[in-house]
């Protein structure tokens, strides 16, 4: 096989340069990123501890919140330590296989997080629209099956995304203009036809985010219709309050996700550092905010947290 202008054959080590254009201030950018990571780790760990220790919280909604906490911990840990190594300690090198592993973990747990938000939306839909049947429908067996399907879907889609990268043999460069390994950043390094990778990446994005977003939106539309038809104002407020935390988490995740997605693919005039900052915030903000949102908006979790802190 003859390929012109090839400089690298299957590199063993890649270089993450961080945030192009902001190299001189990366050390300062690392401070809020580190703070968000620490709060995310502490907050999600507390959530898991509370849900695990309190039997009254062993219900589908809180089990999904616990799963979301595990997802957020893995996502943050997959990104931030290496990112801070680049920003603070000038350690940009990463093994090629480690880069693919990081990419796989990031995209797998992004898919799992999206699937869990869909499961939580369906749980609220059944709880509010069919309250007398909720416990019969959302059994622990169904929760386990949902968790298995969500995880299997993510693993299969992302494993295929990683595997098709192994067909690349030649690369223009070993430098990744990013602070973590992600699909399009690696694809852009290849000196071969990457059309299949781009198409499959879009397929995964729309299969996961598009499918989940449609059904989450439909679920909440039906929930709002049901809530607004309740005869008593107190009942409407109580029903709506049970959804506020989920809606906040859903909005902040998908708004950041779509901004990052469209600027990466269609924002030719957007400076690279803007895209990289927002794509990093897209991965760091949800793990940081989720425990704060659920702690503030979910009465049962808030009560058990206060009890734990002052006992």
Residue range(s) defining the domain that contains residue 277: 8-310
Total structural domains within the chain:
1
| Phi, psi angle pair for 218, to nearest 5° | -60, -40
Residue 181, pLDDT above cutoff 80: yes
pLDDT of res. 155:
92
Answer whether 201's CB lies under 8 Å from 37's CB.
Answer: no
Quote the CA–CA distance of 52 and 146 in Å, as a whole number.
Answer: 19
**Domain assignment present for 219:** yes
**Domain assignment present for 1:** no
**Domain assignment present for 3:** no
- How does residue 263 score in pLDDT terms, banded at 50, 70 and 90? low
Mean pLDDT over all residues of the chain? 85
pLDDT digits (tens, 9 = 90+) for 46-101: 999 998 888 888 889 899 999 999 999 999 999 999 999 999 999 999 998 899 89
Average pLDDT over residues 37-41: 95
Reduced to 3 states (helix: H, G, I; strand: E, B; else coil), residue 175 is: strand
**Domain assignment present for 220:** yes
Average pLDDT over residues 102-119: 92
Quote the CA–CA distance of 116 and 122 in Å, as a whole number.
Answer: 10
Answer whether 122's CB lies under 8 Å from 200's CB.
Answer: no
- Single pTM value for the model: 0.89
Quote the CA–CA distance of 311 and 191 in Å, as a whole number.
Answer: 61
**Domain assignment present for 138:** yes
Residue 264, pLDDT above cutoff 70: no
- How does residue 1 score in pLDDT terms, banded at 50, 70 and 90? very low
**Domain assignment present for 51:** yes
**Domain assignment present for 2:** no
Distances (CA, A) of 273 to 5, 256, 280: 28, 15, 10
CATH number, position 103 = 1.20.1070.10
Residue 246, pLDDT above cutoff 90: no
Quote the CA–CA distance of 138 and 170 in Å, as a whole number.
Answer: 50
Q: 3-state DSSP: the chain helix, strand, coil percent, rounded to 5?
A: 80, 5, 15
Whole-number percent of the chain with pLDDT over 70: 94
**Domain assignment present for 182:** yes
| CA–CA–CA angle 128, 132, 134 (5° rounding) | 65
């Amino acid at each position: 096989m003859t390929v012109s202008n090839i400089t690298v054959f299957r590199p063993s080590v890649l270089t993450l340069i961080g945030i192009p254009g902001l190299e001189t201030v990366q050390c300062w950018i690392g401070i809020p990123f580190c703070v968000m990571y620490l709060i995310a780790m502490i907050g999600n760990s507390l959530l898991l501890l509370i849900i695990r220790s309190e039997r009254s919280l062993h219900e589908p909604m809180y089990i999904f919140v616990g799963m979301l906490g595990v997802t957020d911990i893995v996502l943050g840990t997959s990104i931030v330590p290496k990112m801070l190594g680049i920003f603070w300690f000038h350690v940009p090198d990463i093994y090629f296989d480690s880069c693919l592993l990081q990419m796989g973990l990031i995209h797998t747990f992004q898919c799992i997080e999206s699937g869990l938000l869909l499961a939580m939306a369906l749980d609220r839909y059944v709880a509010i629209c069919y309250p007398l049947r909720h416990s019969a429908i959302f059994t622990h067996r169904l929760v386990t099956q949902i968790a298995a399907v969500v995880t299997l879907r993510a693993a299969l889609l992302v494993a295929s995304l990683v595997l098709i990268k192994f067909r690349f043999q030649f690369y223009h460069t070993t430098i990744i203009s990013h602070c973590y390994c992600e699909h399009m950043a690696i694809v852009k390094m290849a000196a071969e036809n990457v059309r299949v990778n781009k198409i499959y990446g879009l397929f995964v994005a729309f299969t996961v985010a598009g499918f989940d977003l449609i059904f989450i939106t439909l679920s909440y539309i039906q929930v709002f219709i049901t809530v607004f038809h309740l005869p008593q104002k107190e009942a409407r407020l109580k029903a709506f309050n049970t959804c506020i935390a989920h809606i906040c988490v859903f909005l902040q995740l998908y708004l950041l996700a779509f901004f990052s997605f469209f600027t990466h693919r269609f924002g030719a005039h957007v400076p690279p550092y803007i895209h990289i900052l927002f794509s990093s915030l897209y991965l760091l903000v949800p793990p940081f905010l989720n425990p704060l949102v659920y702690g503030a908006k979910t009465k049962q979790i808030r009560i058990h947290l206060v009890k734990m802190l002052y006992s």
